Structure 1
Amino acid sequence: MNRFYSFLFVFLWLLNFSNPQAQPLLEARQAFQSGHYAQAISQWKKVLATTQNTNHRLEAWFGMARSYRWLGNYKHTFKILETALPVAKKNLTYHAILLNELSKLRLTQGNKWYEEALEIGEQAMSIARKTNNPLLLAEILKHWGNLLTTDYNYEEAIEVYREALAYSSETIAPMAPFSEAEMATLSGKILISQAQAIFFSEKYESHQDKKFAFKETIGTLEQAIVATKNWHSTYDQAFALFSLTQLVQKIQVQLTQPSAQLTNIANQALRKSLKIAERLDNTVAKSYANGYLGQLYEQAKRYEEALFLTRQALFFAQPNQSKRLLYLWQWQLGRIKKNMGDNEGAIKNYQQAIKYLAPIRSQAMTGYFNFMTNFREQVAPVYFELADLLLQQIETHGLQQVETHGRASLLSRDKLLHHAIEVIEDFKEAELQNYFQSDCIDIKTECADLKRILDTKTAILYPIMLPERLELLLYRDDGLVQVTLPIGEKTLHKKIVSFLSRLRHHPNPEELARNRSMLAADGKESNKEVCTPSLRGSNPQKITRASQTFLKPSQTLYNWLIKPLVPHLQGIETLVIVPDGALRTIPFAALHDGQQFLIQNYALAVSPSLCFNESHILQSRENRENKVLLNGLSESVQGFSSLPCAKYEIEVIQTLYSQLQTTLLNKTFTTSNVHHKVKQVPYSILHIASHGQFKGNLEDTFILTYDSKLNMDQLEGLISNMTVQDKTVDLLALSACETAVGDDRAALGLAGVALKAGVKSAFASLWKIDDEATPAVVIEFYRQLQNHKVSKAKALQYAQKLMLTHDSYVRYRHPYYWSAFLLIGDWF
């Protein structure tokens, strides 16, 4: 933009405010810049009520939309932008700004709106390029860079930020509806966003010297700090500084030793933000500034100063009753007090933090910067730190009670332990709700007393992974056993990755290729030969040496997770495991004691929760009416490969259930046909042999039908139609489905499918096993279920043990073939 047009733009912009009717706009702008959003909205409403000036009305709409977005009122934000759209379309600049604001809204609302945010952002950028307005392009490119960063496209994002910086330096003329102060800070905000993208790109690079790895990030942060020296005092600027300091904290966590350079950058930013907050007299900004300064002192282990600043932050949070602020600073107080040795005080603060966090957990994950961390990384620490403290209290407070109060120690211990478990269960429920994007999942509904559920032959293993140790809780009908091991969460996670890295791969890739060639043409006689386990299984296969490397980590995990409890597992036949985090990704059946696999000693089941529905479990197996709806897809559809052995699997199960089954295969296996069938007959078993996947994002989780993809909500609808007269569906079997490799959040979805769908049990696999091998376990599992005296857990155990011991299944000895199958939910 040349000087003449720049001058003309400023002149016209100022001319708008020479009108007396523009006074409310000025007052609204001042309130907005001070962070008083409710007051700003009130002023902008006056503008809309008193003027028909198009520019004034657009400015009011944009201001209200931005204010509502800051307040978290996304419904109002969208409504206002939708109202302004027809007017904004008449002007390229305003149209681009509106679309950019709408894209920001969708990005703020979370992952499920990302695609729409991307599409709208692209439209905004396309229009902005036609305006030839450098500041507009800089603002929109900054947001486009944020979108790219969210999608892990760091290299392109960094280039976009560089382009935005070039445009932002061309002029400092204001651009309605943004103020001169906002435009003056644009370069600094772009630099902060750029530093975030560089940080994530450098984080995944391999460097022995971590400080060197973040050299470019730190250099960009220093440029941003320099850029802030000329900033005016606005609420938005204070938050840009808070964002900068939070990035500094993320880098510090990655370093083996804290960086004095980074500490200095954070200190400068927070001191400046505190001055801005005090000048604006904004209690929210004061709360953040004091709280983050307290965090800085906490990391420096200057706990007295950290305690004072954090209490100041809490004081300034009170008038606004911001749950996010109250949660952050209560949690921080808990950490500080814990480090000062005041565990009882810390526990109270942690409890308060969780109380404030509960209603805002979904909001805690919004915004593009939080896309980089999953729900567990963002939310879990406060829950597990409290559980850790409660478990530590058992060792200290409980033992002291033994000396003075005798039996009271047992009550104190049980109470603390129950509280710790309750905290972890609360988190698990929150995590499932977050994954399934529903607050309706309640894993504690109708929970029963474990003592009434457990018989003398069943035990429940509840492992708790903590940063510095592993707690193993074993519930038996005669009491609880607790074992503590000095194995931290990171150490355990590393061993799990090592265990899975070979176990999930076919033990003979060359033979896999040959089998696929034999299965290439549907209907050929060779398909039956390949798919029939009894015909193929007795032929030994050569397995690679690499495929045996799972054994060592398998034995290590056995020694950590099972061996310490073996003396207490005498007489136990069924072991129910309630895994968490990375433990959800491992097949416990394949853990090895040096002589045998775990499945050879115990029938195994997995539960997402320690809470069980008594009415499900105590139902007599003899009264089961096993009416089965069999669904299968052996043909190649929608770009997915064929599954010829799915047809064989369905045909064999048909013979097992004779008159008690209905079959939908290939073209008849459509979503509408399944819905129609479940409305006609109250099936107790729903079997699906088709492609399916569970991933970290619910949007990518589905089961393939002939004509579409069945998502979790649709599956839940199917199950609801099958539930008649309070009789819950007994079993949902998903054959050929898989979870994303090593993704514990995807495994969470798999573990939670029984809860989400509303069935008693789910039978599924952690990974997609070769098509020829799947029937080997699935068919034997169903064959065992014909005996009503056999539990589902024992039916699966028998099928898996058969792969290890029977001569007909020699080729399936490797746990790749049989260990991935899980029974999730009720084990009866």
Structure 2
Amino acid sequence: MAKIPATSALNAIAQAEADQQGKALFEAGQYQQAVDELDQAVKLYQSQGNSLQQAAALANLSLVHQQLGAWEPATSAIAASLSLLQPVSHTPPGMAVLAQALEVQGRLQLNIGKVDQALATWQQAESMFQKVNNTEGIVQSRLNQSQALRSLGFYRRSLDQLNSLNSMLQTQPNSRQKAIALRNLGEALQVGSNLDQSRTVLEESLQVAKAMNEPNQIAAALLSLGNTARAQKDAPQYPTDAIAYYESAASISTIPLLRIQAQLNQLSLLVSSQSTRQSDDSQSDSPTLREARATDTIRERFTNRIPQLLAQLPAQLDQLPDSRATIYARINFAQTLLNFATQTALAENSSLSLVSRPSSTLALSPLLQSTLQQAIQQSRRLGDKRAESYSLGTLGTVYEKAAAQLATTNPAEHTRQLGYAKDVTQKALLLAQATNTGDIAYRWHWQLGRLLKQKGDVKDAIAAYDSAIANLRSLRGDLVSANADVQFNFRDSVEPIYRQSVDLLLSEAKPSAENLEKARQQIESLQLAELDNFFREACLEGQRVLLDEVVDQKNPTTTIVYPIVLRNPLTSEVKLQVIAKIPNQPLKRYPPITTSIKDFDSTMDQIANTLNGGLSQLQPFQTATCKVYDWLIQPMEQDIQSAIALAETTNTKVIAKSEDRAIVETLVFVLDDRLRQVPIAALWDGHQYLVERYSIALSPGLQLLDPKPIKREPLRVLAAGLSDPPTSFGFSKLPFVQTEIASITKLGFFTNALLEQNFTRETLEGNINAVPFNVVHLATHGQFSSNAKDTFILAADGPINVTQFDTLLRSRDATRPEAIELLVLSACQTAKNDNRATLGLAGFAVRSGARSTLASLTNVSDESTSVLMANFYQQLSNPKESITKAEALRRAQVALFKNPESYAFRAPEFWAPYILIGNWL
């Protein structure tokens, strides 16, 4: 979404009239005029021999050139400024100007991709501001450092910086600078998905701006509040609130650029809401009822607003002076036009359709074309290669969409439009590579890959996708904030790249071993990127071992199963690709299975809707899980059995035999898409459940953290339980919590228990740091969600979210040497109406640092849980038999539905939801 640029006024000393006029023009967005005025000021100060004011004016001049995207003159101006300041840098006036000049230099370094240098420069600026006791300067420097830390992938440090700033700002008197600083802080929090905190801080900025009677600062705060409200999709009134903020910002602002940005954001929200249902119907996540109602509200109240804005904005954009912000505003408008034309399928003669038929010749929509051509021309006038790359690449997207509409009706013109698209995309890519801007380059590599695929050039298309993914890997820390100026969404802008790449790699009837391995790695990269996006920082660090090595060397009775779900909204089909790694055999891809998206999703829905239906829903549950069994397991069954037979005939070491099966064999699944919601243990082959034949575990990727079997010494358990949760959370009581924990203690384990009101965040943290243990068992309600802040466990004093829990365990890492072998979350569940909620479960598993995590996908009976957990720990600690954690869970699950003593719990809802994530050994 569009954002106004933060201003950085160098007003430490008195200024000449031209200097003051340049500052006023800068703040009004009249950048070229500001350059002219500041040039005059620089010459005047030089003629007067006033090097201090000359240096300040040069720093201002650099800042204005940066807004124009003119990097060479910006670099020259700031270099000249710093050179003039060297002789006086030890004096208080010299330090004051030098600090602000360093702020400008850091901004330039960030803009041209030198983030490490920017961070160091801003740290130096802060030191200078401290020496001259400039609190406002200190605040701005720390805000800038926070941005640099986020760009480098250090989101936790960035957030710490922001939180300390918030405390500092609360003590400051109201001022224009305080309003700006609070707004910048709120925007940074919004980028990091701290939306509630962002809204609170932005509302403070708004109140300060009102107190100072600063209309444009009021408008700027309202614009930022609109962006935060738009991101708060959990709030029932999020769309109408966002639109109200945007409308107020547009009506109050006297700065044309700010007003247009508010209108553009309003327009893009209105357009995206028009097709929420139809676009989501073909995706893996159908919208929640709340989102659907919000969309309906927008349709009812703002139906006429779209044509009004479409009519007003072109002329308003033409009135803006050349600047990078103006170019991005045009790109934003073009993207919304493109979405509107695509989604509403306008008539061919509409001015907004992608193609029209003047004189029977197809051409691009004049409005779209002119908008982007003007952006390209402005970029070239300014010498702003980054903005030119964005403009050209977006034009390539328009050509691509136009070609798609012509694929069946006019093949010749379809081919011509693809050629245009390829040509401008390659130009955009060259510009992005020349400026070392990977956050743009990945988009154009991806676009080029799509175009090459349509032309039938599969080899070059694969290479283009490989380059796009390589760029994404290099951007792990800051992909979202790097794209803050244009419309960005992880699900739209990142995930499809990986899936389309995999589809290409597996498109041949017999993919090569190299392509199989690459496809598998791409899916793991996607899952890693999902977790990075979930936490808004890079994760999964540390020493890890490939699953293949574990299977081939340490645990040769395990098979790894990689089901990959590839959705095609254009054909409404799902292609299911299943790759398996059987011990000491090469990867094998089984014949792909194609079904409709509707059939796939309805199967997932049927499993979810009947799992907790008891025995009365057993037949439809087994029917649906049998279908998934046929998709995932049946094709490889013969290969698995052949591997078992080979192991027996060659005396390969295998795990001990049991009464139920010839051999204990483990299946480890790296699940994808909505298959993550499926209780794999309950897959039905028509005669028995999968868990009756195999131990089962899940892995979040192709690598395993420290793959060692659990030590056969007495387990040391830190247990915490809450049977009576706070009523405000709407969770039921858990009357068997104390029974569950007592059963663990009875097995002879050393158990430190925190029960009921003694289980708080503070007591948990104290015990984590003080007590030696290798198992953490939490018998309390919790929720896994696709949003990190809504993923939590519940203590007596409130929720502990996944990030806070991670912080607790990291503090333990610094004081205790013992590894956490096992984290048990016995009463947690995935959030309702959230098809990506298992991302939260994976997040908990990954960030805990535990080698294994045992948890439930859905809410399970408290009573049956206590029985299953007692059996699990008993199996795991049996001194007479050394078994894996996966086998211990398997036996506990089977006992629950087969043993006469627990016959009441034979329905899948009591045992199937439990899953083991990570190290199954």
Superposition TM-score tier, normalisation by shorter sequence: 0.7 to 0.9
Match runs of 1:194-343 below 5 Å = 194-204=266-276, 218-219=306-307, 220-251=309-340, 254=343, 261-263=352-354, 264=365, 265-301=367-403, 302-343=417-458
Return the match for 1:575 from 649, 656, 667.
667
Corresponding position of 2:636: 565
Q: Displacement, 1:372?
A: 9.0
Q: Displacement, 1:749?
A: 3.4
Instruction: Judge conservation of contact 2:695–2:886 (CA < 8 Å) in 1.
Output: yes
Between the aligned residues of both structures, percent identity stands at 28
Q: Displacement, 1:300?
A: 2.5
Instruction: Judge conservation of contact 2:785–2:837 (CA < 8 Å) in 1.
Output: yes
Corresponding position of 1:163: 248
Corresponding position of 1:729: 820
CA 1:360/1:15 → structure 2, altered by over 3 Å: closer, same or farther? closer
Instruction: Judge conservation of contact 2:779–2:825 (CA < 8 Å) in 1.
Output: yes
Corresponding position of 2:567: 467
Is the deviation greater in 133-142 or in 325-334? Answer: 133-142
Q: Displacement, 1:238?
A: 0.4
| CA–CA separation in structure 2 for the residues paired with 1:304 and 1:796 | 57
Instruction: Judge conservation of contact 1:466–1:489 (CA < 8 Å) in 2.
Output: no
Return the match for 2:225 from 121, 140, 144.
144
1:128 and 2:214 correspond: no
1:35 and 2:69 correspond: yes
Is the deviation greater in 272-281 or in 199-208? Answer: 199-208
Instruction: Judge conservation of contact 1:631–1:663 (CA < 8 Å) in 2.
Output: yes
Q: Displacement, 1:553?
A: 3.3
Is the deviation greater in 224-233 or in 235-244? Answer: 224-233
Corresponding position of 1:406: none
CA 1:647/1:234 → structure 2, altered by over 3 Å: closer, same or farther? same
Q: Displacement, 1:309?
A: 0.8
CA 1:504/1:52 → structure 2, altered by over 3 Å: closer, same or farther? farther
Is the deviation greater in 285-294 or in 430-439? Answer: 430-439
Instruction: Judge conservation of contact 2:346–2:353 (CA < 8 Å) in 1.
Output: no
Instruction: Judge conservation of contact 2:202–2:225 (CA < 8 Å) in 1.
Output: yes
Match runs of 1:142-541 below 5 Å = 142-152=223-233, 153-168=238-253, 183-204=255-276, 218-219=306-307, 220-251=309-340, 254=343, 261-263=352-354, 264=365, 265-301=367-403, 302-366=417-481, 375-393=490-508, 395=510, 413-442=512-541, 445-447=544-546, 449-453=549-553, 457-468=557-568, 469-479=575-585, 480-487=587-594, 490-491=597-598, 494-495=601-602, 497-503=604-610, 505=612, 507=614
Corresponding position of 2:851: 760
Structure 1 gap segments, 5+ residues each: 1-8, 173-182, 399-412, 508-542
Q: Displacement, 1:253?
A: 6.0
Instruction: Judge conservation of contact 2:783–2:831 (CA < 8 Å) in 1.
Output: yes
Give the residue type in structure 2 aligned to 1:567.
Q
Q: How many residues align?
A: 747
| CA–CA separation in structure 1 for the residues paired with 2:63 and 2:380 | 19
TM-score normalised by length of structure 2:
0.71
Match runs of 1:71-82 below 5 Å = 76=122
1:110 and 2:192 correspond: yes
Instruction: Judge conservation of contact 2:722–2:796 (CA < 8 Å) in 1.
Output: yes
Q: Write out per-residue CA displacement over residues 541-581 of structure 1, whole angstroms, 9 at most, x where no aligned residue.
A: xx666x86544433332332233333334357322111123
Q: Displacement, 1:138?
A: 3.3
| CA–CA separation in structure 1 for the residues paired with 2:560 and 2:22 | 72
Q: Displacement, 1:636?
A: 3.7
1:119 and 2:200 correspond: yes
Q: Displacement, 1:472?
A: 0.6
Match runs of 1:712-791 below 5 Å = 712-717=805-810, 720=813, 724=817, 728-741=819-832, 743=834, 745-787=836-878, 788-791=881-884
| CA–CA separation in structure 2 for the residues paired with 1:506 and 1:82 | 62
Instruction: Judge conservation of contact 1:376–1:431 (CA < 8 Å) in 2.
Output: no
Q: Write out per-residue CA displacement over residues 100-123 of structure 1, whole angstroms, 9 at most, x where no aligned residue.
A: 34433443x4214x4443223212
Give the residue type in structure 2 aligned to 1:590.
A
Give the residue type in structure 2 aligned to 1:416.
N
CA 1:386/1:127 → structure 2, altered by over 3 Å: closer, same or farther? same
Q: Displacement, 1:496?
A: 5.4
Instruction: Judge conservation of contact 1:110–1:367 (CA < 8 Å) in 2.
Output: no
Q: Displacement, 1:352?
A: 2.0
Corresponding position of 2:775: 685
Structure 2 gap segments, 5+ residues each: 1-16, 25-36, 46-52, 141-168, 283-294, 355-364, 404-416, 569-574, 645-662
| CA–CA separation in structure 2 for the residues paired with 1:132 and 1:740 | 44
Q: CA RMSD in A?
A: 4.3
Corresponding position of 1:537: none
Give SS of 1:156's match: helix
| CA–CA separation in structure 2 for the residues paired with 1:760 and 1:62 | 45
Give SS of 2:326's match: helix
| CA–CA separation in structure 1 for the residues paired with 2:388 and 2:799 | 50
Is the deviation greater in 213-222 or in 340-349? Answer: 213-222
| CA–CA separation in structure 2 for the residues paired with 1:91 and 1:658 | 62
| CA–CA separation in structure 2 for the residues paired with 1:492 and 1:393 | 25
| CA–CA separation in structure 1 for the residues paired with 2:21 and 2:739 | 75
Is the deviation greater in 681-690 or in 82-91? Answer: 82-91
| CA–CA separation in structure 2 for the residues paired with 1:450 and 1:659 | 29
Q: Displacement, 1:154?
A: 1.0
Q: Displacement, 1:672?
A: 5.3
Q: Displacement, 1:156?
A: 1.4
Q: Write out per-residue CA displacement over residues 144-171 of structure 1, whole angstroms, 9 at most, x where no aligned residue.
A: 2222112131111112222233334xxx
Instruction: Judge conservation of contact 2:62–2:74 (CA < 8 Å) in 1.
Output: yes
Give the residue type in structure 2 aligned to 1:597.
Y
Instruction: Judge conservation of contact 1:444–1:611 (CA < 8 Å) in 2.
Output: no
Instruction: Judge conservation of contact 1:274–1:289 (CA < 8 Å) in 2.
Output: yes
